[in-house]
Structure 1
Amino acid sequence: MQFIKRQLKNKYMSLLGINFVPRTFQEALVRLQTTTPFLLVGLPRSGTSITQSWINQHPQAFISYESIIEPYIKERNPYRLAGFFYESLRQYSHLNNMSENSVVKSTIQSGNYKLVGNKTIFQLNKSYQRSLVSAIKNQQKLKVIFIDRDPRDRIASIIKWHKKRDATLVNTKTTSENVSNIIQTEASRSNDFTDFVSKMSCNDNVLVINYEKIATKQLDVNALYSFLGLDACDPVKSFFDDEMRASSIDKWRQDLTAKQLEQIEAICDCVD
């Protein structure tokens, strides 16, 4: 009977595209049942990366970079999820051995984590949004944090990123027309994100964090611990105190032209 069960399981795994099943994968599958799944959601240049690095200072938390398989959103099969986080931990561990600065966690553990999750960039397409709504409403264990940021600072940061990219890539040039298109797209994106988050914020498993509160150190860190089910941790608090910079607030005042600001404010519902 055990042989038949094993054969059926192997066949099922093969159908999922998982043909190699190491012992550590089996351990990951067991651990997945005892961890809290987590999603960190935000728009580009909204502060998701610094928040990810910050939460990852906790020894019982592991948040990977964005993945094309969209854990907990598009992909919910427990075998695939276990495989994803097993592979993520393994790859992060390899990178960590090569360069301490190449990963979001300074130390990758193979032990138990209380919180395991993924960072995801909010998408405008309705399929993504429907899947995210379904995940929030139907996955009782899932915790979701949305990072919100003043669209003026966010868009100014995106424009600066495009210009920085021009210096390193050939055949790319950010023109005034490009900038206008970027503003149009990102301002509309901010509206869509704000509307979506306002509808989701009433769920108990959702927490909305304002980037400005993070940067100015006004965020209630203990409330965040409580929401994530993590114990208070000095490394997290130290990282928060040392790395958060209020200088990233209101930079749009010097980085945006009057015309660019006028275009943003004409589109964005969420600008005061």
Structure 2
Amino acid sequence: MRVKFSKMHGLGNDFVMLDGVSQRIRLSPDKVRRIADRRLGIGCDQVLLVEPPRHPDTDFCYRIFNADGGEVENCGNGARCFARFVHERRLTGKQHLNVEIASGTLQLNLMDADQVEVNMGAPLLEPEQIPFRADRRAESYPLEVNGETFTIGAVSMGNPHAVLLVEDIQLAPVRELGPLLAVHSRFPQGVNVGFLQIETPSRAHLRVFERGVGETRACGTGACAAMVYAHQRELVEDKVDMHLPGGALTIHWSGPGQPVTMKGPAITVFHGQIIL
């Protein structure tokens, strides 16, 4: 099976985009791992498969697969790349899109200069919705790892996130602590782990260890979750420039029950074909 693809990235968080609308594609975990392999395949953090809509009120459906082959619920940087991809591939002429993902629907708005704005929906904060094992909802939770207790925030943006405040983002134990928290037993579906340094109420820094991938150069849903956690604690304003290793995202959230919006770039790197 010869498949056409596009390689894209959002702030260095990179994707292989597959058009499952005009070509028939069947993915298995083995095929995803082969595509994502940076030495033997194309190389990416995640594979996104675009499919026809399943409901009359959506424009497309797309599925998200981590580099380890596992399918996941949401990806903010991937959402922006998806919007740019379907437009560049002439699968749609719309600037405003309503798309279905595993965790629900997203509203996407293509803007000028490669910018895409995404309505990520309202964050989920109840432990059973994240999911996270806790007796009740709280702004912060104690979490024990190897006999040491850390304070985290737990937020779902369609996928689960743990957020830790750090004083220096460069010294944050992302590679040491990230893998341990990502598979912590209190997160039954695993969790993406964000390390957040707040510089000012409108500017913050973030590094994210993503389950099934490792540390990435950017994580859109992680940036949204980190902003929500900091906003709940009144540490940031309604609008924050979130700086990640790959660049900056603008995140806006006005409070409980309101949607989170994320704006940032989506860049096409190259097109090609691969035999699966």
Same fold judged by TM-score > 0.5? no
TM-score after normalising by structure 1: 0.27
Normalized per residue, which structure has more strand? 2
Normalized per residue, which structure has more helix? 1
TM-score after normalising by structure 2: 0.26
The higher relative CO (CA closer than 8 Å, separation ≥ 6) is in 1
